[in-house]
Structure 1
Amino acid sequence: MSRRKHLRHDDHDNHERWLVSYADFITLLFAFFVVMYAISSVNEGKYRVLSDSLVTAFKQPPTSTKVIQLGNQTVMGAPPKAVALPAPPVPNQATAEQARKMQEMASKVKSSLDTLIDQGKVKVTQSKRGIAVEISDSILFDTGRAELQAPSIDALTKLALLVKDTDNLIQIEGHTDNAPINSPQFPSNWELSGARAASVVRVFAAAGVAPQRMVAIGYGEYRPMDSNDSPESRARNRRVTLNILADNKDEVAVLPVDDSAKPAGQ
């Protein structure tokens, strides 16, 4: 009886034997990683790059928490940097001297033509480009002709003597109204305006102004000062303009077209 009990006890199954196999597997796996670690090597260059990047990132100052509004979104960002405005240009001595000379010349021109200015026949203006003297054709030419009237030659000669001893270039422009002309001498207003400008150039040359300083330009009817819808406005468009250029020593500059100055409908 006791023997049967003993035999039954020895035949009892052991359900925890899998732990032995599992422990052996973990031991082998640990040994494998130890061997792999032992034979591996660290890339020192990449390690240093990573290390330097981290150090640089942590050394940078923190960005501002100032709120920047972009449309309907609000973002955080650094404050805008101040932009230094350029200093205003300082005119040099030569420029200041040139401006002083042009101012004196403009005063002399106005004084010599004061009577015609008071009558509204002459207009003198000054700008950075120089001095512009606009003369109505009614005191210079007869209708449809390019020969100067005798009284106007004296006024032009007086003006030429004021600029004779300077080195400023002189641009003389002829302008007409839009009334067509078709004669053997002047087939169009181009020829008439150019001939009138050339007549003034000849007076200046006769007074002693160097011819190489002057140019005659005919604009015809294409640069009006006023509309051509009345006799008065057409009379204002018939003119000769003398431009005493301020600082064009190398070439005679032609004034570009200013569309804003044209009358409506031109």
Structure 2
Amino acid sequence: MGRRRKFEEEPDNHDRWLVSYADFITLLFAFFVVMYGISSVNDQKYKELTSALGSAFSGTDELKSPSKSSDIQPAENQNLQSSPSHSLINGLPLTRLEQEKYRQEQENISAIITSLNQTLGSLTSSGKINISKTNRGVRIDIADGVLFQAGSSSIKTEANAPINDITQVLANQEYAIQVEGHTDNLPISNMQFASNWELSAMRATSVVRRMIDNGIAADRLSATGYSDTQPIADNETAEGRAKNRRVSIMVLYSKPEKLQKTETQE
């Protein structure tokens, strides 16, 4: 009987993990190649979109025609015209129209301020009426002494002239008008008004009624009383309190239709 060979065990291979690791890296590389292929940009479509955006902002109505080297077939062009992105491009000129409307409105507001300053000359130069431009529109602050006796909401006879002058400037405009009554922080004590809230509201209402009588459409007007909650000066001094006692006529900016819809949805 021949002698049996001694079985020799193979040594352990500690590098076998490299095979699995190499397979994993290969699969990962293939995955990223596929992802890159999916996300690659169509240069021709990108150029056409850029051209369309340029046409929209420059004011031309027609899209630029594709170059002769374009490989897009007519069917694809039809799809482009019916796509949501093309609808967005057609909507861009509306934004331009709104911007033009805003520019014209700013010019009109400036013209209103100029006209009011000229019409109310002596009252504005003396500080009894102050006209300013705010983010809400034109603010016309009228000192209470110009319009009312102390503690009263009845308009003085001599106040008819400045109210009529303001009305004549605003009568042919389309802007909404909000009349605001303001007081100082000293509590009122008479039989007619329980607090400054009633006094400020009634003063605003009195001015609204007079403006309606002078020709302003009623649906353009509103009256609000703020009492002493919106001071423009320090109520600790007599001079500051005098500035806070006022009636403000706000000529409100008109808002684009899109902005109005957005605010309604919110």
Unaligned runs of 5+ in 1: 1-19, 31-45, 59-88, 254-266
Is 2:89 the counterpart of 1:107? no
Is 2:241 the counterpart of 1:234? yes
Letter in 2 for 1:100: E
Deviation at 1:53, TM superposition (A): 3.3
Distance 1:233 1:51 in 2: 80
Is 2:216 the counterpart of 1:209? yes
Is 2:123 the counterpart of 1:148? no
Unaligned runs of 5+ in 2: 11-20, 34-94, 261-266
2:7 is paired with a residue whose SS is: helix
Q: Which has the larger radius of gyration?
A: 1
Is 2:200 the counterpart of 1:218? no
Q: TM-score, normalised by structure 1?
A: 0.62
Deviation at 1:98, TM superposition (A): 1.1
Aligned to 2:37: none
| Structure 1 residues 64-143: aligned runs within 5 Å | 92-143=99-150
Deviation at 1:102, TM superposition (A): 0.9
Aligned to 1:168: 175
Structure 1 residues 52 and 142, CA gap change in structure 2 (3 angstroms): same
Deviation at 1:183, TM superposition (A): 2.5
Structure 1 residues 49 and 245, CA gap change in structure 2 (3 angstroms): same
Structure 1 residues 207 and 50, CA gap change in structure 2 (3 angstroms): same
Distance 1:155 1:55 in 2: 82
Distance 1:200 1:57 in 2: 73
Deviation at 1:50, TM superposition (A): 5.2
Of the three residues 10, 15, 25, the one matched with 2:7 is 25
Structure 1 residues 249 and 110, CA gap change in structure 2 (3 angstroms): farther
Deviation at 1:48, TM superposition (A): 7.0
Q: Percent of pairs identical after alignment?
A: 28
Distance 1:248 1:171 in 2: 15
Is 2:206 the counterpart of 1:193? no
More helix by share: 2
**What's the Cα RMSD here?**
3.4
User: Deviation digits for residues 125-159 of structure 1, max 9, x if unmatched?
Assistant: 01332100101111111110011111111111110
Does the CA-based 8 Å contact 1:169-1:248 persist in structure 2?
A: no
Count of matched residue positions in the alignment of Structure 1 and Structure 2: 188
Does the CA-based 8 Å contact 1:168-1:248 persist in structure 2?
A: no
Deviation at 1:57, TM superposition (A): 8.5
Does the CA-based 8 Å contact 1:130-1:246 persist in structure 2?
A: yes
Deviation at 1:123, TM superposition (A): 0.7
Distance 1:108 1:142 in 2: 28
Distance 1:240 1:55 in 2: 75
Letter in 2 for 1:169: A
1:25 is paired with a residue whose SS is: coil
Letter in 2 for 1:155: P
Deviation at 1:47, TM superposition (A): 8.9
